[in-house]
Structure formats: C-alpha cells, structure tokens
C-alpha cells in the first residue's frame, strides 16, 4: 500500500478568502516502510502572508518571490500523489487549500487524483478523546522527537506525522483475523492447564488493633447512612 504523508504551509487560514499555498511536503511510505522518495516544494503565492501565519512558518515574501507558481508545479504534484492514500493531520484544511488552487486552474479536485484521504486528527480524537491532539501534542504523547520543530515546515511536519502514524497504528497488523479456513490454533497462544487445587493460600487474621479500627470505620459509615448499612452483621 502506497501512502503519502502530506502537509502544506499557507499565507493564512482562508482558502476561499484568497489565501494561498506557499509550501508542500510529501513523505512516501510503502507497506509501512518509509522509502525516502519525498517531494518538497516552495510556491510563490503572489501575495504576502498574514502576520500570524508568518510567525508560524517564517517564509517571507522575499524568500518566495523567485519560487514557481502553483500552476508550474501542479502536474509534478499530481503525478507524485496519483493513486496514493493521503495521510493528513486535519485533512479538510490542506485538501481545501489544494482544491482552491486546482479550482483557480480550472482543474478537478485533488480527490479525483488520489486513492483516498485519511485524517490522523480524527484517528487521534477516537484514540485520545478529550485530550489535546495537535501534532505537537501527539509527538509528546507518543515520544516522537520534534525538538527541531522551531517553526512549522511542510516537509518536517509530514515526516513527524509519518512517525506519529506508525506509532498510532502499531500492532494493527497483528489484530487482523485470518479467515482463510486454516488451523486457527496455530496463530493462538497455547496455555498449559494449571491445577489450582495444589495451591495452599494462607489465611491472614486481623489483629485486635485492626479489628477495632475496622469497627470504628463501620460505625462512622453507619452514622453517615442513618443506620442503613446493608452489610451490618446480624
């Protein structure tokens, strides 16, 4: 199975409001093995980034001014992604931006090119309900080293996401049930029968001091319940 861990950096948060993609990071995994066949692209958005976004990614208008336009890298990107499963943290954000760029070029949405899209944010929310599930939070929880993540970067974040995904899904292969009709016992643990009657368990008697403490606690419970202890001795 070919998977691409995918991330973008953008000029802001509003794809439909005119914000643009400025960086794309793609990390390839085949059959749960990272291949090293990655794709990293900078894109000239032909506009400045919002101040908040610039503080996040640090990619200035001057740095991006000599980079290709999205129209110039679209075919390269689509060829790399074709048929693969995209794995994205908060997929609607990145897919929305790519589709907005494709719409400007009057081309079909990215979902017409890729095989499928998997959202690791939804996966994390199912596994860790009620907890922080940002990429940084998952790196801390799953012990993925993100010490180099001083600023957000599309390729770095895609690499971190690949490591997070491997740890999120570790052991799943061993949970796949074999329905081929073979001998199921060969895949099961075989436990030796143990005769428990051979064990002699010691009986520990409460000391007088422990018995008195126990009676005091029962008395307090009896008082608190208005004499309704259902375990009270006859």
Q: Which of 75-89, 170-184, 211-225 has the weakest average pLDDT?
A: 170-184
Q: How far apart are CA 162 and CA 88, in angstroms?
A: 9
Q: Is the pLDDT of residue 74 over 80?
A: yes
Q: How confident is the model at residue 185 (pLDDT cuts 50, 70, 90)?
A: very low
Across the chain, mean pLDDT equals 86
Active-site residue, from 50, 57, 89, 152 = 152
115 and 35 Cβ atoms separated by less than 8 Å:
no
pLDDT of residue 75: 98
Give this prediction's pTM: 0.72
214 carries an active-site annotation? no
């Amino acid at each position: 199975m070919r998977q691409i861990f995918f991330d973008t950096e953008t000029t802001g948060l509003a794809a439909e409001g005119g914000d643009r993609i400025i960086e794309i990071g793609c990390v390839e995994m085949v059959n749960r093995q990272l291949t090293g066949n990655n794709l990293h692209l900078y894109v000239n958005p032909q506009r400045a980034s919002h101040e908040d976004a610039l503080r996040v990614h640090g990619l200035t208008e001057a740095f991006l001014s000599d980079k290709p336009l999205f129209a110039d890298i679209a075919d390269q990107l689509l060829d790399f992604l074709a048929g693969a499963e995209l794995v994205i943290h908060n997929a609607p954000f990145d897919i929305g931006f790519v589709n907005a760029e494709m719409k400007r070029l009057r081309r079909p949405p990215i979902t017409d090119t890729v095989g499928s899209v998997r959202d690791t944010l939804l996966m994390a929310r199912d596994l860790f309900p009620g907890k922080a599930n940002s990429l940084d939070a998952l790196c801390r929880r799953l012990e993925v080293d993100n010490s180099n993540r001083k600023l957000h970067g599309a390729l770095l974040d895609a690499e971190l996401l690949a490591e997070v995904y491997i740890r999120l899904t570790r052991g799943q292969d061993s949970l796949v049930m074999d329905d081929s009709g073979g001998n199921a016992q060969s895949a099961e643990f075989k436990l030796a029968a143990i005769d428990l009657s051979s064990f002699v368990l010691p009986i520990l008697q409460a000391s007088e001091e422990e018995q008195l403490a126990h009676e005091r606690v029962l008395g307090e419970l009896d008082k608190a319940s208005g004499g309704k202890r259902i375990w009270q001795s006859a």
